[in-house]
């Protein structure tokens, strides 16, 4: 790693670079999963979800780029191989599955929520353990972006059923009673 004179020790920078590479790996897997659902989705909400996932895919592409470039800003090198992303990510792939539209939305909500929990922890670690307020600020903004994407997705399954046969199947996530 190059020597930088920006008020952070090499250990501090290595600490946040490790966190950023984990967040980069999750963002990359989520980007792939979002694109796959953009392709696979069927049902009465096809057009809406197809378009929403295109928008989210583009937003995640920007995120991935900014996380990788923050790693470079701190003198490190971003993970950049499929194998590396799989090794460092916390979210899981669902190879071979073509779920219903409702299940796709629920899977992505779970992934965004996992990433939000990770980022919330990494914000604290960046500033408290590694003294890097810049990365804490950067990750806070990233967390807020995932919170918004999770809300957009969650809103689909909090109301009407999305399944094409019209049955109400989504028992996993429901609106609170009376709301
Ligand atoms: Fe497309």
How many angstroms separate the alpha carbon of residue 50 from the centre of ligand 1? 8
Q: Among 12-16, 22-26, 76-80, 163-167, name the one with the lowest average pLDDT.
A: 163-167
First to last CA, the chain: 53
How many angstroms separate the alpha carbon of residue 13 from the centre of ligand 1? 38
How many angstroms separate the alpha carbon of residue 126 from the centre of ligand 1? 36
Which one, of 47, 52, 42, 53, lies nearest residue 163 by Cα? 42
pLDDT at 162 over 60: no
How many angstroms separate the alpha carbon of residue 102 from the centre of ligand 1? 20
Considering Cα of 134, then 137, then 141, then 143, what sign does the dihedral take?
positive
How many angstroms separate the alpha carbon of residue 15 from the centre of ligand 1? 37
- Counting every residue written for the chain, the total comes to 179
CATH classification (class only), 10-158: mainly alpha
Please say whether the beta carbons of 91 and 72 come within 8 A. Answer: no
pLDDT at 152 over 80: yes
Q: Which helix (H) or strand (E) holds 58?
A: helix 46-73
Which one, of 108, 139, 132, 174, lies nearest residue 9 by Cα? 132
Q: What mean pLDDT do residues 96-106 have?
A: 93
Which one, of 40, 48, 45, 33, lies nearest residue 163 by Cα? 45
Greatest Cα-to-Cα distance within the chain, rounded to the nearest angstrom: 62
Report how far residue 73's alpha carbon sits from residue 15's, in angstroms, rounded to the nearest whole number: 14
pLDDT at 62 over 90: yes
How many angstroms separate the alpha carbon of residue 54 from the centre of ligand 1? 6
Domain boundaries, the chain: 10-158
How many angstroms separate the alpha carbon of residue 55 from the centre of ligand 1? 10
Please say whether the beta carbons of 118 and 26 come within 8 A. Answer: yes
CB neighbours of residue 37 within 10 Å: 24
Triad 36, 40, 46: Cα angle to 5°: 120
pLDDT at 90: 98
How many angstroms separate the alpha carbon of residue 129 from the centre of ligand 1? 41
pLDDT at 19 over 80: yes
How many angstroms separate the alpha carbon of residue 39 from the centre of ligand 1? 7
């Amino acid at each position: 790693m190059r020597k930088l004179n920006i008020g952070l020790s090499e250990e501090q920078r290595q600490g946040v670079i490790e966190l950023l590479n984990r967040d980069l790996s999750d963002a990359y897997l989520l980007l792939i999963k979002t694109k796959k659902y953009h392709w696979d989705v069927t049902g009465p909400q096809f057009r809406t979800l197809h378009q929403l996932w295109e928008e989210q895919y583009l937003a995640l592409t920007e995120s991935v780029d900014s996380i990788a470039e923050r790693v470079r800003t701190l003198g490190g090198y971003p993970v950049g191989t499929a194998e590396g992303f799989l090794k460092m990510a916390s979210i899981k792939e669902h190879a071979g599955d073509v779920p219903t539209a409702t299940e796709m939305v629920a899977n992505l909500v779970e992934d965004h929520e996992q990433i939000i929990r990770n980022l919330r922890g990494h914000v604290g670690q960046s500033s408290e353990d590694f003294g890097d307020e810049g990365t804490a600020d950067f990750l806070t903004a990233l967390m807020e972006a995932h919170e918004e994407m999770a809300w957009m997705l969650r809103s689909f399954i909090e109301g009407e059923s999305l399944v094409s046969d019209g049955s109400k199947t989504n028992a996993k996530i429901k609106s609170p009673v009376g709301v």
